[in-house]
Structure 1
């Protein structure tokens, strides 16, 4: 199997509610009931068009020659191609201006009646005072006016998720699964083929970080240190997420072969870990990017002497930028309360990642594979520098 293997993964202002037949969204192919802004479309594509229709097309940048395939599974990856497809299919800006004008009028009236002015108080709580001298807490204002993501932030999310999808090996995992399912039961997921597949996936994972633009802006020394220090985290999260997305862990034959490689205890731990991934795949990919810039030296004790980063401030700035991006994305997409809950669940998830790494490190096959990947990755860094 090689990287050259490709697979196409088939992954509401309502204008006319009379069109309620079960159809496909003309933008991404998801199930759709209504015509929105002149085109049969799902609620997700409807809201995407509503938010971005009046922006200029060149406000979004596609890194792949504006040829991205927009499907149910890839629609959040490239905003430029998604918006272009909305216009190509016939969505019309004029159909959304009426409702938007009304909202803008209400907002203007509200601004005229209450003009917030930040003021400091003797207490540690930041307050907002209006023209009627009626204070209200800042948290209440945030709930009324949730933060938005800038075009630059949306582009960064697009780049990070696109890089993950391109280099993670998910396409190969889906091909491998389909090929194995075509075989008779007794020939499926034999030890040799599963072992080669796992090595391929784990070897691919570091490329996701290597291709990151912020990562490539660092010195060769710091890139090497980061990859070495975070390799077990990135492998554990990245490889398990690929197995989770491809549903390979649902197949008992696949798991049985992996038990011969890693042992039943480790496989049970990996399966439990896969069940705790956040349902938002984009959020998981953003967390993966954050992990790539972690300054954690090791999870289990190592005899190797850990070198210090030359420019740790640059690494922390990148990590802070990604953490803020992940937080604002979750608040924007869900709510402040849901964002807090999901970040708390993330902490529990990372503890489980720690436990999985500790259990896996006891397996000689795993340790040898990690050492091999580190050596190969560092050679690639030297060649690409």
Structure 2
């Protein structure tokens, strides 16, 4: 989900969004786009992947190697759960009161309490495969490997559009191409560090509301909104909460400060709609991020943007909502990846700035994109991961275009007096001049 971040005068040109970690392709294409920076970029050292603590078993607290049956568990608890998962905990009988403390030293003393703790901490019986299921899984993996090998022998010309197709798209040498096909090949699954990183990201997202409240909000989310300007200013709450999530990503804080400002300025507004998929209340059909908030006021939505745009955005949002209910961590990772995406505003790139250290942004973007792919392949299998990845690309590209149209609708509606009433953070996010 990477694209060009350079200034261009022709806003009608088409741009292609593709993804890669192929350093050779990136080096060749960046050399075309940034000839004057090639020496500095070639000398830039790659940042090492972040170090994280070892995993801890959620059952007994001993060191763990990864996910087992839906939860982080050690080899001992993994084997125990496989043997006893389909038994009734009561049938195992606890000699105490049913609340025995499970530690690496006591875990063998009470099977009943140990099994109960396994189940309470997310280990799932339906993830224990039969011999037939394991054999089918191995067969599918072998088929996927064969398909990957067959696709890998194709030439670069077969992978990329032909020259005639490029001419038809009226593209120039400033467009930065990257190739996301490498992510769609079966590869090593998540290691312990990757799993811990994903859990840390999930925890950081849960803490965003608390952290934002500590720093202070520019708008009281418990106050109902009545006017259009109040509705816009109320969005500052969601902006600050999303920012508090990103501030907990250590690598983002290590980027050049001006580059961080640019990424936030051009990307954050579009991420607000994607973020809504994680806290939309399906029971009441309301957009409410926290229990203390009042529901988001949507009365101006269709009047401002029109029926067609609202219908298109609703279709995309429902798809994102379905994906969020399927696996929330995918959306959480997507938010980070899209924040780190250069040239995210594909329909109006002419005023975007050149990054001071674009290479660091690229490397961090590629790291989290690869982490997302490995997570989807590990948790959902190769075939499902390919489908999810393709759907994400399609939905996000469509969302970019629609959301840019919505931003322009807002800017056309604002009068000078309205602009003066906008909070500073909203002026920045909407890029009000």
TM band (smaller chain) = 0.5 to 0.7
From 262, 265, 268, the equivalent of 1:228 is 265
* TM-score w.r.t. length of structure 1: 0.52
Seen in structure 2, the aligned counterparts of structure 1 residues 254 and 201 have a Cα distance that, compared at 3 Å, is closer
Query: Are residues 1:280 and 2:327 paired?
Result: yes
2:299 corresponds in structure 1 to 257
Seen in structure 2, the aligned counterparts of structure 1 residues 297 and 308 have a Cα distance that, compared at 3 Å, is farther
Paired residue total: 258
- Structure 1 residue 150, shift from structure 2 partner: 1.1
Seen in structure 2, the aligned counterparts of structure 1 residues 360 and 84 have a Cα distance that, compared at 3 Å, is farther
Query: Are residues 1:207 and 2:244 paired?
Result: yes
- Structure 1 residue 155, shift from structure 2 partner: 1.4
| C-alpha contact 2:232 2:426 (8 A) present in aligned 1 | no
**3-state SS in 2 of match to 1:91:** helix
Tell me the distance in 2 between the aligned counterparts of 1:228 and 1:254. Answer: 22
Q: Determine which structure has greater relative contact order: mean sequence separation of CA pairs < 8 Å that are 6+ residues apart, divided by chain length.
A: 2
TM-superposition CA deviations, 1:180-235 (whole Å, max 9, x none): 9xxxxxxx966368666434223432332233211001121221122122123322
- Structure 1 residue 349, shift from structure 2 partner: 0.9
Seen in structure 2, the aligned counterparts of structure 1 residues 48 and 280 have a Cα distance that, compared at 3 Å, is closer
| C-alpha contact 1:170 1:242 (8 A) present in aligned 2 | no
| C-alpha contact 1:170 1:246 (8 A) present in aligned 2 | no
Tell me the distance in 2 between the aligned counterparts of 1:355 and 1:376. Answer: 17
Tell me the distance in 1 between the aligned counterparts of 2:310 and 2:375. Answer: 32
Query: CA-atom RMSD, angstroms?
Result: 5.1
2:114 corresponds in structure 1 to 91
- Structure 1 residue 163, shift from structure 2 partner: 1.9
| C-alpha contact 1:168 1:242 (8 A) present in aligned 2 | no
2:50 corresponds in structure 1 to none
Query: Are residues 1:313 and 2:359 paired?
Result: yes
2:69 corresponds in structure 1 to 47
- Structure 1 residue 297, shift from structure 2 partner: 5.5
1:33 corresponds in structure 2 to none
| C-alpha contact 1:147 1:331 (8 A) present in aligned 2 | no
1:360 corresponds in structure 2 to 406
| C-alpha contact 1:226 1:294 (8 A) present in aligned 2 | yes
1:342 corresponds in structure 2 to 388
Seen in structure 2, the aligned counterparts of structure 1 residues 319 and 256 have a Cα distance that, compared at 3 Å, is closer
1:191 corresponds in structure 2 to 226
**3-state SS in 2 of match to 1:218:** coil
| C-alpha contact 2:267 2:339 (8 A) present in aligned 1 | yes
TM-superposition CA deviations, 1:295-340 (whole Å, max 9, x none): 1163343774x33212211111111111111111111111100000
Query: Are residues 1:155 and 2:177 paired?
Result: no
Tell me the distance in 1 between the aligned counterparts of 2:226 and 2:302. Answer: 8
Tell me the distance in 2 between the aligned counterparts of 1:248 and 1:170. Answer: 27
Tell me the distance in 1 between the aligned counterparts of 2:315 and 2:256. Answer: 37
Tell me the distance in 1 between the aligned counterparts of 2:233 and 2:76. Answer: 47
| C-alpha contact 1:191 1:258 (8 A) present in aligned 2 | no
After superposition, residues 126-141 of structure 1 pair within 5 angstroms as none
2:255 corresponds in structure 1 to 218
2:277 corresponds in structure 1 to 241
Structure 2: state its 5+ residue gaps.
1-56, 61-66, 78-101, 139-148, 155-184, 214-220, 288-294
Seen in structure 2, the aligned counterparts of structure 1 residues 152 and 166 have a Cα distance that, compared at 3 Å, is same
Seen in structure 2, the aligned counterparts of structure 1 residues 373 and 189 have a Cα distance that, compared at 3 Å, is closer
1:271 corresponds in structure 2 to 314
Tell me the distance in 2 between the aligned counterparts of 1:261 and 1:199. Answer: 21
| C-alpha contact 1:234 1:288 (8 A) present in aligned 2 | yes
Tell me the distance in 1 between the aligned counterparts of 2:202 and 2:334. Answer: 11
After superposition, residues 40-79 of structure 1 pair within 5 angstroms as 47-48=69-70, 52-54=73-75
- Structure 1 residue 245, shift from structure 2 partner: 5.1
Seen in structure 2, the aligned counterparts of structure 1 residues 211 and 124 have a Cα distance that, compared at 3 Å, is closer
Structure 1: state its 5+ residue gaps.
1-26, 29-36, 39-44, 57-82, 111-120, 127-141, 173-178, 181-187, 379-385
